[in-house]
Every structure is written in C-alpha cells, then in structure tokens.
Structure 1
C-alpha cells in the first residue's frame, strides 16, 4: 500500500495525528519531572490535540472512517474518562498505559485514515456509529480499570501494596460500573444496527461484525448477571470482561482491518 497518497488526502489531519502521537510518546518521559498539576495539564493538552485531530479527520469531505479512526476515538474517550475520574480519585494512576495506547492508535490513524463514505444510507446512521464507538470507549475504560485492579491485587499479595494507591474494592466497583454502562450502549447499538439493516437491506444481515458484536453483548450480559446473582469477582470476572472486549474488538475493528489492510477494499 502506498501511504503518501493516503496522507496527502487530508494533510492537516495527518500532521495533527503525528503531533499528537509525539505528545503521547513524550508524556511518560515528562511525568516524573513534573508536579501533579503540571502532569494533568500535559494530559489535558494532549487530550485537546487528540480531539482536534479527530475532528479534522471526521469533518473532511467526503467523510473517512475505518478501524484506526475507531480505535483513535475509543482511546480519546478512555482518556476523557480518566481525566474526569482523576478529579474524584487523584490516586488513580494509568498514565503510562494511556500514553502508550494513545501513541499507538494515533500512529495507526496516521497510516490508515480509513475509507471514504461519500453517501450514507440514512441521516441517522451517524447515531449508530456514535453509540457503537461510545460502547467501545466504556468497555475499554472497564478493561483499563481491570488491568489496574489486577496490578493492585498482585501488589497486595506480594506485600508491596501502596497505602496511597486506589483501593482494590473501589477499582472493582468502578470496573463493573463501566461494564454496565457499556452493556447498555452496546444494546442500543445492536438495536440501531438491526433497524438500519432492515431499512437498507430489508432483512437482518449476519456478517462477521454482527456475529462478534452479539457474542460480546452475550458475554457482557452473562458477566453482569453472574456479578449480580452469583457474586462473580476476581480472575473469573476479569477473564470474562477480556473475552467480551475481545469479541467487541473483532466486531468492527477486526472486520474493517481485514477489509482495509489485508484485502485493501473500501467496503
């Protein structure tokens, strides 16, 4: 694939993506040399650059979207959640994880800006996309919290727990709140997808995206039911969350990656 024509199609978005990726990459190096307020300001500036890069790409004419922009929006939503959360839980620490994630997705968005979408089957189709990306963001936030929860559990078992760190039970509670919110939005996404499929194709289309999305929905539903009725927690609950997030990732991002990168098809 020749990347130069791809980048030239929207040069401002490409430049902003590169600058944002650099900002994410430099942030971990800067954190130890800054105070809490300064580090938060750096994250806020990076957040703003990321948003500007997203808007520049999504407001192009015609619209371009694909697996990498979807991951980029998801990472931005996770960073947004983190910035809000740290206002209430200053001891929450995920800067290294978010910086690595942000740099990676911005580079992907730079190299793979997505396919053109010159015409939409319905003016409401962006609503379906927004619901889907929002569910991605909330489930991704749940995964980040699960990773922090596992790290805290390992530190506690090894006797190296930091008293100033986020309490394990608080992390667990936040993780399942994000799972529940993500499940609600994923349910709305599937309902909207079913409606648009019926509207455009006069029937429900069962492709890879639909199958993996339904599998993710079922997995998250079983996880929430197990938490509510059976008190699931710990490793079993985290593994179920990772499984459901994996299915969700394979749904849109996985199918679009195969089409755009492996098969090099626009649709």
Structure 2
C-alpha cells in the first residue's frame, strides 16, 4: 500500500508540474523556476521512496525491464534538477516529467521478471551504465530542443516560446558539455564491463556489448568532429540522435527481447 501511495503521489506531482510548465511555454510566459524545481524535488522524494520499495527486496534487487525504466527516469530527473543550480535546463522537464509518469506506471503494472543479487563490482558497472545512459538521454533531449530552436530561427519565427530558451550558442555549449560527461561515463561503463563481467560477449550480452561500443564510436566521432571540424547545428543533432538510438537498442532492446519476448 505504501508503495502504491508514494508512486501515485509522484505521478500526481509530475502531471501537475507538466501541465504548469507546458501552459507557461505555450503562452510564452516566464516559468516560475523556484516553484517548478520545488515541485520536482518533492516528486523525486516520493518517486525515490516508492522505487526503493519496488527494487529492494529481501536479499535481492529487482532489476527487471519496467523497474529499471523507472529508475532511469528518476536518475535523469535528479541530474537535471542538480544541474539547474548553474544551468538553464528546467525546460527539459516538459519532456521528462510525462515520460517519468509513464515509467512509474509501467513499473507498477509490469511484473518483476529478473531479481538478481549484485556484487559490489557488478553494482559499479550497473551504476556507471545508468549514469551514462541518464546523461546521454539528457543530451538527446537538449539536442531535440536545439533542433526546434534552430528550425524556428531559420524560418524567422522567433516566437515567445523560443525566447524563453537560452541563446543558441549557450544551448550548443550545454549540449556538448553533457555529451562529454556522458561519453566519459559510457567509456568507464564499457571498461568496467570488460573487467568485472566474466564474458562480456556471452550470448545474452553480445548484442548489448556490440551496440554499446557502436554508440561509443558514434559519440567519439561527434566529439572529434566538434573539436577538429567545428561541427554544430543539425550535424551535431543528427549524430547525437544516432548515438542515442544505438544506446537504447543496447540496453532496452536487449532487455525487451530477453525478458519479454524470449521469457
């Protein structure tokens, strides 16, 4: 009962904050940043407590497909919330909060399928992976906002909603800061997998490993292109989305096949 109440409270706050933020952006009005961040903080407390009851079972961690989806959104929201202290990222919540709501609903409705016991070494690998995916997800959302901002400015439609975003150069700088941080964590995640896992190319891990390395290559080329060739705009956006698509295939694609299709 406590699990349901906590997750329901998180859903209610997420939806209220989404409605407020979407209405403000639609009207082209300034968002009450303190109010929004306070609401998200409260929702994260409820979401985290409810998630704890879903994940932590006696002697095992429930890391099934739906539960990890909810955990991933919790980490992403927390990273964005902390980053808002020095970066104007709060508008990302207009996309994150409804997705987080869906993640919570799925975690409540989806039955647990993969309870496992984690050693400290394996837990390190899992934590690095979740942090890497979280930061690169935020970077992808930033890229989508950047694409919309580029489109509006190139078509001479600088509406009030666009003016609520930081300048284009600032948006690009934020994108590449997050890409660098996510790329470093992804590198550490892949390396820790080779160190801590007995056989990273075992049958149930081969596709995940291949897609993760492919995503790492895409992000590496993008960051090289930015440094050496000055890539920006739609070129940077397309490479960011391509790397993210491979990363999602690596994680969610593998878990979807193993836990829901082949189960």
TM-score range, shorter chain: 0.7 to 0.9
Cα distance change, pair 204–182 in 1 and its aligned pair in 2 (3 A)? same
- Which SS does the other structure have where 1:63 is aligned? strand
| Cα distance in 1, alignment partners of residues 117 and 76 from structure 2 | 29
Cα distance change, pair 43–235 in 1 and its aligned pair in 2 (3 A)? same
TM-score, length-scaled by structure 1: 0.84
Which residue, 145, 148, 152 being the options, matches 2:149? Answer: 152
State the shift of 1:159 in Å: 2.9
Query: 1:191 maps to what in 2?
Result: 191
Cα distance change, pair 23–92 in 1 and its aligned pair in 2 (3 A)? closer
Query: 1:224 maps to what in 2?
Result: 223
Deviation string, structure 1 residues 161-191 (Cα, Å, up to 9, x no partner): 4444311111111111111111111111111
Query: 1:47 maps to what in 2?
Result: 44
| Cα distance in 2, alignment partners of residues 123 and 81 from structure 1 | 23
Deviation string, structure 1 residues 69-119 (Cα, Å, up to 9, x no partner): 332222222212322233334575223212211111111222225434344
Cα pair 2:11 2:104 within 8 Å, conserved: yes
- Equivalences for 1:64-75 in 2 at 5 Å? 64-75=62-73
Which residue, 11, 19, 22 being the options, matches 1:29? Answer: 19
Query: 1:252 maps to what in 2?
Result: 251
| Cα distance in 1, alignment partners of residues 101 and 84 from structure 2 | 21
TM-score, length-scaled by structure 2: 0.85
Runs (5+) with no aligned partner, structure 1: 1-10
Query: 1:176 maps to what in 2?
Result: 176
Query: 1:234 maps to what in 2?
Result: 233
Q: Which of 136-145 and 34-43 deviates more?
A: 34-43
Cα pair 2:150 2:233 within 8 Å, conserved: no
Query: 2:135 maps to what in 1?
Result: 138
Aligned residues: 250
| Cα distance in 1, alignment partners of residues 173 and 91 from structure 2 | 16
State the shift of 1:12 in Å: 4.2
| Cα distance in 2, alignment partners of residues 113 and 193 from structure 1 | 27
Which residue, 122, 127, 137 being the options, matches 1:125? Answer: 122
CA RMSD of superposed structures (Å): 2.3
| Cα distance in 1, alignment partners of residues 127 and 167 from structure 2 | 33
Cα distance change, pair 14–192 in 1 and its aligned pair in 2 (3 A)? farther
| Cα distance in 2, alignment partners of residues 130 and 51 from structure 1 | 16
| Cα distance in 2, alignment partners of residues 217 and 114 from structure 1 | 30
Query: 1:57 maps to what in 2?
Result: 54
Cα pair 1:74 1:140 within 8 Å, conserved: no
Q: Which of 153-162 and 179-188 deviates more?
A: 153-162
Runs (5+) with no aligned partner, structure 2: 25-30
Cα pair 1:91 1:164 within 8 Å, conserved: no
| Cα distance in 2, alignment partners of residues 130 and 241 from structure 1 | 22
- Which SS does the other structure have where 2:62 is aligned? strand
- Which SS does the other structure have where 2:84 is aligned? helix
- Equivalences for 1:204-215 in 2 at 5 Å? 204-205=201-202, 207-215=206-214
